[in-house]
Amino acid sequence: MKRVARTAATITLAGGLVLSLLPAAGASAVPAVTTSAATAASSSASVEERRTYQPRKRFAREMVREGAADTSTSNVEHVRELQYRLTWAGTYNGPITGRFESRLTGAVKRFQKRHKLRITGTANAATWEKLIPRTVRGRGAVPRACKLRNGWRVCYDRSRHQVTLWNKGKLWNSWLVRGGSASTATRVGRFEVYYRNKDHVSSLFGSPMPYSQFFSGGQAFHGSGLMMDPFVGHSHGCVNMYIEDARQLWLLTAHRGLKVRVYGAWS
């Protein structure tokens, strides 16, 4: 008679009782090492996914990998931002398309190698943490008022389409944005957020302005349902952000006082 090898599994119960389990006759035994390896790999991947986007952490962004795309204002994967930032970092020389293709994977790998990160081609939390502060442009032009060591401050550079967030003098994060047109420019000066509305709708244009934080009359930082590329088009005076970025700014600052500084030539 042909013997079928069966693998026993043991479970230790309370009181030290050991229960031995055998698969039914004829059942195939799966090597424990294969299951363990698959479980470990799955566990490792899930841990990385959970760590992908913790919006309150410094320089946080969602994980993005090859195949992702910015397809609409409600589905922004930060691919354009990644392309812009890697261009400024000197590892990407392709077009700004909002599509994560093989050329961008190579650029991510070059950046990771340069900064001694694990080379995966995926823009994970560790990659964004290195990339964002290294691609904040015009650091020398940031007003001293933004870096004061008391409280939170958000500063908008009109010429570079860039917002920086500071906490007690420490750069906390930065986002790509767009401001008002030449005829409805975002006002320069020192301000403070005086009104917030998570679900605001414009009384003038009837358009949603999610995560609005008003700082000067009707001008606010808010998520935009129109902006796909921060360097294309303008607002009516507000600081347009990707909706996810406006939510991130909201989570970080909506429960506290927030000083605002707007500076730089119009662009």
**CATH 2.40.440.10 for domain 141-263:** yes
Confidence of residue 47 (pLDDT cuts 50, 70, 90): low
Question: pLDDT tens digits, residue range 139-173?
Answer: 999 999 999 999 999 999 999 999 999 999 999 99
Architecture of domain 54-134: Orthogonal Bundle (1.10)
| Res 48: pLDDT | 53
Cross-strand bridge partners of residue 237: none
Contact in structure between 130 and 141 (CB atoms under 8 Å): no
- Say what the pTM is: 0.82
pLDDT in tens, 86-145: 999 999 999 999 999 999 999 999 999 999 999 999 999 999 999 999 999 999 999 999
Query: What is d(CA 207, CA 165) in angstroms, rounded to the nearest whole number?
Result: 26
List where CATH 2.40.440.10 sits in the chain. Answer: 141-263
Q: What is the mean pLDDT of residues 64-93?
A: 98
Tell me: pLDDT of 1 over 70: no
One-letter identity of residue 65: R
Distance CA 50, CA 218 (A): 37
CB 222 within 8 Å of CB 210: yes
Interatomic CA distance for residues 221 and 125, integer angstroms: 25
- Nearest 10 degrees: CA dihedral of 98, 102, 106, 108? 40
Residues of the chain with CATH 1.10.101.10: 54-134
